[in-house]
Amino acid sequence: MYFTDIQPYLRQKAQLLPINERDFFFRNILNGRKLYPFNIYTDAFVYLVDRGILSWEKYEKIKRAYEAFNINLHLFELDNTAFGGWGEQYLRDVNSNIKPIEKGNKNNRGKRRYDNYLRIEHSEYKLESKTSRAINRGKVQGGNLVENAAFFNTGENYTTDLDHLKLDHADVFVLTVVWVDLMKHWVIPSGDLDGMKHVGRKEVNGLGRHISIQPSNITFFRRYQTDREGLYDKIKDACKGIVRVTYEDENLYTYW
């Protein structure tokens, strides 16, 4: 069940209530509710269970199915700062060898230039995590992130925004895009990004390069793609330069 299906479902079931209770239900429980995640509607479901319109078993079944289908929806509720922090911690949770940069680290020149580092043998590699939430182009104009959250497996026309890629600040960039129903990861050495097709050629106002992964170009980055289980090995390979490609490989370095 999509989160946008919940309110229509509840309205349909509420028609089975007595008229006086139906008015109370719409006015005091559903009135003014936005299309936010499932727990917003817990009171409405419990009310219908209490009135015998729904069984508790049916409610639990709907809730489990909803949560399984909308597994990442809670990440669309976070503000941009919290979401960026989630991305940095997500990378550290992949493997304990990935460490956060401490404030004042001599390699960080006293200020934040990259998020994490990985030490391999006697070398220390700078890792930068960039995250984006996929937004459905065809949903609510001016709506919030939850209302416009995109699914991957439904063929929706989505867009993403991976920005502030300052190539001289990190050795490897770990890009993560979150859809409601899944996540995808790309691990790209900084040197490969410079001049790569679909990557902004110049920094904009000193804010770094920009990538927008969309249905039209997602396959272009497939050589760098991995799942969570393979993410750590992909990062190590990138640090060692194993995934570097040639200029002749599928016109990879053609500017747009």
Q: pLDDT of 70-90, one tens digit each?
A: 789 889 989 989 998 899 899
pLDDT digits (tens, 9 = 90+) for 223-253: 999 999 999 999 999 988 744 343 344 444 3
Q: What percent of the chain has pLDDT over 70?
A: 77
**Which is nearest to 220 in space by CA: 191, 190, 256?**
256
What is the structure's pLDDT at 61?
A: 82
> How does residue 23 score in pLDDT terms, banded at 50, 70 and 90?
confident
218 pLDDT higher than 70 = yes
Helix axes 42-50, 56-69, angle to 10 degrees: 160
What is the structure's pLDDT at 109?
A: 47
221 pLDDT higher than 90 = yes
What is the rounded radius of gyration, in angstroms, for the C-alpha atoms of the chain? 23
What is the structure's pLDDT at 188?
A: 93
Measured CA to CA, the distance from residue 27 to residue 93 in angstroms comes to 44
Tokens at residue 46, please?
């419990």
**Which burial class, exposed, middle or buried, applies to 83 when counting CB atoms under 10 A from its CB (0-12, 13-18, 19+)?**
middle
User: 122: how many CB neighbours lie within 10 A of its CB?
Assistant: 5
Q: What is the DSSP string of 188-248?
A: EEHHHHTT-TTB-SS-STTS-EEE---TTTGGGGGGGEE-HHHHHHHHHHHHTTTT---TT
φ and ψ at residue 14, rounded to 5 degrees: -65, -20
Beta carbons within 8 Å of 2's beta carbon, 6+ residues apart: 69, 70, 151
What is the structure's pLDDT at 9?
A: 81
pLDDT digits (tens, 9 = 90+) for 96-137: 899 887 654 445 444 445 678 888 877 888 899 999 999 998
pLDDT digits (tens, 9 = 90+) for 154-209: 888 999 999 888 888 889 999 999 999 899 999 999 888 887 888 876 655 666 78
66 pLDDT higher than 50 = yes
